[in-house]
Amino acid sequence: MRLLLLDQPYFRAALTALGHEVRCVARSVFHDPRQPLDLILPRVPIAFQWVLDSLAPWRPDWIFLGDDSTFPHYLGLEMTRIPLAWYAVDTHIHHQWHPLYASAWDLIFVCQQDSLSLYQVPGGPPVHWLPVFSYLFRDRWLDLEPEHAISFVGNLDPGLKPERARFIGALGQRIPLHLAQGDYVEVFNRSHMVINQTAAGDLNFRVFEALACGTLLLTERIGNGQNDLLRDGEHLVLYEAGNVAQVVDLYHRFLTDEPARRRIARQGLAEVRAHHTDRARAEAVMARISALDPQAVVQSRLARLAAVERNLAPIMARAATIHRHFAAAAPPGRRQDDLTRMARQYQTLAETLQARFGRSEA
């Protein structure tokens, strides 16, 4: 099947390995060299027809947009006669406008199980749970000699992650916690244990990345289907969110109990490699896509196009507001100019749609 992946190319490597013909389009700042882009957007938002014209004569059978935690980039995408699938990842961040965007698609995958109902709209597309995963080409056990008792890799900016900064800071005063940012594979492979903390009770990538590196993972007890996929004491070890004392106790317990630490880590690695990789998720996506009649789902979307465009109006208005805020905070220069242009373009789109359908809020 010919597949066009827009924005975050989550499954390029996996879909290619499965025999599909894949093209990827995104802004250059989001591409991974191991999942290269075929077309880099010169600006956003941009007319979707420009994308199709730039890829011609190649034409996809399906379009799959991977959420990159930004507002809609492709103008007129909802009007295409090519079936559309969306992977909504940052549901905990964009819950105010994502539900309005749901009607614009023919098939939706949502990574947070507790958010499924937000995307299920009357007369809308089918919605399925698709948890995040580990990458076969990146996340792996290297059998390295451990150098760290316990590690955390992630953003600790108190302005962006205040709860995390407080929690990890307090933990670091009690145990020898190794801190790092950026590449995590070697750090995790050189650690007896890894600590994970979520942004908002979300089942995040770090859970599967850490397990795929073969280390013991200590992570928060959350919902979002975590217990449906992984079991406490068998694949990982759970702690109550924010409970520093509990994590300290678990740290001392598993640092001294090497057999239990190795057993859980080994079982977690095996479970992730068997069921929670990019290839496993890509297979699930293609099974759902293959079960649908492409012409029927497109006709259904086009039949509700007026409702789709009505829902887009407040999304564009919100995008304009957010980009104006970012522009005001940016130093003078190219980035501020780009943000200002984007704000004006989103505002024009919002006003055009509001003139047709009236005002509503996102």
pLDDT in tens, 149-205: 999 999 999 998 999 999 999 999 999 999 999 999 999 999 999 999 998 999 999
Question: What angle separates helix 162-172 from helix 244-256, to the nearest 10 degrees?
Answer: 50
Is 99 found in the same domain as 17? Answer: yes
- pLDDT at residue number 28: 77
Side chain identity at 361, as an amino acid letter? E
Mean model confidence pLDDT for the chain: 96
Per-residue confidence band for 288, with pLDDT thresholds at 50, 70 and 90 = very high
Is 155 found in the same domain as 230? Answer: yes
The C-alpha atoms of residue 209 and residue 200 are separated, in whole angstroms, by: 18
Is 294 found in the same domain as 202? Answer: no
pTM of the model: 0.96
Query: For the domain that residue 259 is a member of, what is the CATH number?
Result: 3.40.50.2000
Per-residue confidence band for 92, with pLDDT thresholds at 50, 70 and 90 = confident
Q: Is residue 112 part of a domain?
A: yes
pLDDT at 362 over 80: no
The C-alpha atoms of residue 102 and residue 90 are separated, in whole angstroms, by: 14
pLDDT in tens, 320-338: 999 999 999 999 999 999 9
In the structure encoding, which two tokens stand for residue 140, read together?
């792996």
Q: Is residue 142 part of a domain?
A: no
Is 155 found in the same domain as 80? Answer: no
Side chain identity at 264, as an amino acid letter? I
Q: Is residue 75 part of a domain?
A: yes
pLDDT at 356 over 90: no
Q: Residue 165 burial by CB count (10 A; 0-12/13-18/19+): exposed, middle or buried?
A: middle
Q: Is residue 139 part of a domain?
A: no
Q: Tell me the residue range of the domain where 268 lies.
A: 148-276
pLDDT in tens, 23-68: 999 987 666 777 889 999 999 999 999 999 999 999 999 999 999 9
pLDDT in tens, 295-329: 999 999 999 999 999 999 999 999 999 999 999 99
Residue with tokens 């965007």: 101
Q: Is residue 101 part of a domain?
A: yes
Q: Which residues contact 350 (CB under 8 A, 6 or more apart)?
A: 313, 314, 316, 317, 319, 320
pLDDT at 133 over 80: yes
Is 239 found in the same domain as 259? Answer: yes
Largest CA distance in the chain: 67
Tally of structural domains, the chain: 3
pLDDT at 361 over 80: no
Is 361 found in the same domain as 257? Answer: no
